[in-house]
Structure 1
Amino acid sequence: MKSNCLHLAIPAGDLATAKIFYCDILGCKTGNSEDGRWVDIDFWGNELTLHQSEEKLPNVRHKVDMGEVAVPHFGIHLPEDEFQALKGRIKAAGLEYLDKPYRRFVGGDYEQETFFIEDPNGNVLEMKTMVNPELMFK
């Protein structure tokens, strides 16, 4: 059986705090877990495993068209309505963007709105909505 589910495990700091961010703000659901050690998050159909930790991933900035972006980072491409709803939840939670929403490649095949946000342990997420998602890997 072929699976298209990506699995990513990251240091999450305090799991209870991380679950609030990923579930209450981002809108994800929890899955399997080992109490006090790790929890699986349904990250839009992908398996994100949050590990209880004291460490954080190092971040550096790399130059791209929109400036310098934090690396490493991960994220998801969302339909426009889900993307806008997510921005609303972030605003309602009083969270700050690491990099505010920005429109890239305007007028081109890859036009998108993107923003970067940090989870409570400093992991960087890039959230996007594509104008033409069907052209992403043409």
Structure 2
Amino acid sequence: MSVELNHTIVAARDKKASAEFLAGVLGLEVGAPYGPFIPVATGNGVTLDFADSHEEQITAQHYAFLVSEQEFDAIFGRIQQAGITYYADPFHRQAGQINHHDGGRGLYFEDPNRHNLEIITRPYGSGG
């Protein structure tokens, strides 16, 4: 068996609201609670397991999602409709823009916990 990422835990102030935010933006489903977690599964079987954090400040993490061109259009539309600020770069210097790395499209936005989320249509280093 090759090594595959199966799941990761995502710290949240409100795990239900955070899971619903991600699922809503990406067009995914929120799974049934499992112990202290609320999962959101991606198309390749990886789950992001949202858990309530009792820390005063949540350390922001980065989560990147590879999507098709059609999925990008749908997600981008939901981001714009919701009034979510998006950026072409991970440092949030190019607000209201998308990037075209490797001949695809990409953008960054934050979730309610300030996690840095990214959608891309081409893997980095794939050329273009």
TM-score tier (shorter): 0.7 to 0.9
Check the 8 A contact 1:101/1:116 in 2, yes or no.
no
Q: Is the 8 A contact 2:40 2:49 kept in 1?
A: yes
Distance of aligned partners of 1:50 and 1:27 in 2 relative to their CA distance in 1, 3 Å threshold: same
Q: Larger C-alpha radius of gyration, 1 or 2?
A: 1
The aligned residue for residue 116 of structure 1 is 108
Show the counterpart of 1:80: 69
Structure 1 residue 119: Cα displacement = 0.9
Once the two structures are aligned, what percentage of the paired residues are identical? 26
1:9 aligned partner = 9
**Residue of structure 2 in register with 1:41 after alignment:** 40
Structure 2 equivalent of residue 28 of structure 1? 28
Deviates more, 1:26-35 or 1:16-25: 26-35
Q: How far, CA to CA, are the matches of 2:97 and 2:8 in structure 1? A: 24
Q: CA deviation at 1:2?
A: 5.6
Query: Which ranges of structure 2 fall in alignment gaps of 5 or more residues?
Result: none
Structure with bigger strand share is 1
Distance 1:43 1:120 in 2: 19
- How far, CA to CA, are the matches of 1:90 and 1:113 in structure 2? 15
**Aligned residue in 1 for 2:126:** 136
In structure 1, distance between residues paired with 2:97 and 2:72: 11
Match of 1:102 in 2: 98
TM-score, length-scaled by structure 2: 0.74
- Please give the per-residue CA displacement for 1:10-58, whole angstroms capped at 9, x wherever unaligned: 10210232132122222121224247x3211113331111111243114
**C-alpha RMSD of matched pairs (Å):** 2.5
Shift of 1:78: 0.7
For 1:61, the equivalent position in structure 2 comes to none
TM-score (norm 1): 0.69
Alpha-carbon distance between aligned partners in 2 of 1:16 and 1:39, rounded to the nearest angstrom: 7
